[in-house]
Amino acid sequence: MAVYTDVSDQELEAFIASYDIGTLTSFKGIAEGVENTNYLVHTDTEPFILTLYEKRVRAEDLPYFLSLMEHLAARGITCPLPVRDRDGRILRELAGRPAALISFLEGVWIRRPDIVHCAELGTALAKFHLAGLDFPMQRDNDLSLPGWRSLFEDVREAADGVIPGLRDEIAGELDFLGAQWDTNLPVSVIHADLFPDNVFFLGDKLSGLIDFYFACNDMMAYDVAVCLNAWCFEPDGSFNVTKARAMLQAYEQARPLTEPELDALPWLARGAALRFLLTRTYDLLNTDANALVKTKDPREYLRKLRFHQRVQSYRDYGLGSD
Ligand SMILES: Nc1ncnc2c1ncn2[C@@H]1O[C@H](COP(=O)(O)OP(=O)(O)OP(=O)(O)O)[C@@H](O)[C@H]1O
Ligand SMILES: N[C@@H](CCO)C(=O)O
């Protein structure tokens, strides 16, 4: 459960009173997520999500994330909308942290995504990328190669205590990716963390996307690689090529991948696996034992990384074979 910052009844009542959304009736910490503190807030009008921004989110980046939600919603992507207070402000402060109130999105996330969900995700991801093309703000991906190197420095000494041999394995992968990483692929706004828990469904239909706090301007195919990792592996660690094909084909119906993007998929997928291997290792080593949060397992991402190290071409992901 991600509640790093407690908010008192009185603080929240006063906070909610500065919005035109009715009076506070109840609120509770949300038992999901690892990055920020989230509360489900009910007023006598409707539910809202209150987010207090923690650790990895920089306050100066919040206008980018919040404006992006408005931009996407205006282009037909279903996502939460930031709520303005009576003075027109979206970004506020609560309990000493930057905070924002956003609209509540109906739907649930799917614990075990099936082929149909992967296809829905592929379509939504391509539409997201297309909608981002004319977003006027700019934010670099601080969790790309330079960010991974700096995370590695942070975990280098303790890495072998998390998984024996991890230090050398990460060092070798960073060398490989340093030589391979070519940022000369088509860019747009990418979500960069579009895991199943950030995608809501009503039945088998995708109903919306949430959690834009890693969004940035970067290669669209990198985002595809993040999703290949997050959606197309089974709990036993095996890669499900049928899910990957469904996701990629659906993506390509809305936005065909270029030949250089296809060729790049194997090393982009290695980078995408390394990114979550590093953040999960870092979090395991640095999370305050008192925080109500369930840290995620880095081993899962080491297995995915090793899988992509053996991949020969994008055809191994189910494309171009029928
Ligand atoms: N707008 C929303 N509408 C409905 N529920 C929401 C909304 N935003 C967040 N939630 C709920 O809160 C949970 C955590 O939100 P979110 O994924 O933004 O947190 P996080 O700490 O940034 O998580 P992550 O680990 O994915 O980075 C979601 O899984 C969902 O249950
Ligand atoms: N989606 C991330 C957590 C949030 O950054 C993970 O599964 O490691």
Name which residue sits closest to atom 6 of ligand 2, judged by CA. 276
Q: Are 62 and 55 in contact (CB under 8 A)?
A: no
**Distance (Å, whole) CA 50 – CA 242:** 38
- How far is the centre of ligand 2, averaged over its atoms, from the C-alpha of 45 (Å)? 32
Phi-psi region of 233 (alpha: psi -120 to 50; beta: other; left: phi over 0): beta
- How far is the centre of ligand 1, averaged over its atoms, from the C-alpha of 41 (Å)? 13
- How far is the centre of ligand 1, averaged over its atoms, from the C-alpha of 111 (Å)? 14
Residues 6+ apart with CB under 8 A from 63: 91, 137
- How far is the centre of ligand 1, averaged over its atoms, from the C-alpha of 208 (Å)? 12
Instruction: Identify the nearest ligand to the CA of 200 by its number.
Output: 1
Closest atom of ligand 1 to 79 CA is 1
Residue labelled with tokens 């936005």:
255
Domains and CATH numbers, the chain: 9-103 (3.30.200.20), 115-317 (3.90.1200.10)
The pLDDT value given to residue 250: 98
**Distance (Å, whole) CA 150 – CA 152:** 5
Written as six digits, the tokens of 160 are 């072998």
CB 34 near ligand 2, within 6 Å: yes
Query: Three-state secondary structure along the chain?
Result: CCECCCCCHHHHHHHHHCCCCCCEEEEEECCCCCCCEEEEEEECCCEEEEEECCCCCCHHHHHHHHHHHHHHHHCCCCCCCECCCCCCCCCEEECCEEEEEEECCCCECCCCCCHHHHHHHHHHHHHHHHHHCCCCCCCECCCCHHHHHHHHHHHCCCHHHHCCCHHHHHHHHHHHHHHHCCCCCCEEEECCCCCHHHEEEECCEEEEECCCCCCEEEEHHHHHHHHHHHHCECCCCCECHHHHHHHHHHHHHHCCCCHHHHHHHHHHHHHHHHHHHHHHHHHHHHCCCCCECCCCCHHHHHHHHHHHHCCCCHHHHCCCCC
How do the pLDDT tens digits run along the chain, 322 residues long?
478 899 999 999 999 999 999 999 999 999 787 789 999 999 999 999 999 998 778 889 999 999 999 999 999 999 999 999 999 999 999 999 999 999 999 999 999 999 999 999 999 999 999 999 999 999 999 999 999 999 999 999 999 999 999 999 999 999 999 999 988 999 999 999 999 999 999 999 999 999 999 999 999 999 999 999 999 999 999 999 999 999 999 999 999 999 999 999 999 999 999 999 999 999 999 977 666 567 799 999 999 999 999 999 999 999 985 4
CB 195 near ligand 2, within 6 Å: yes
Print burial letters for 216-245: b (CB count within 10 Å at least 16), e (below 16).
Answer: bbbbbbbbbbbbbbbbbbeeeeebbeebbb
Instruction: Identify the nearest ligand to the CA of 296 by its number.
Output: 2
Closest atom of ligand 2 to 195 CA is 1
Instruction: Identify the nearest ligand to the CA of 109 by its number.
Output: 1
Closest atom of ligand 1 to 213 CA is 22
CB-based pocket (< 6 A), ligand 1: 2, 30, 32-36, 38, 49, 80, 102, 104-105, 193, 197-198, 210-211, 213
Nearest to 230 by CA among 263, 286, 275, 261: 275
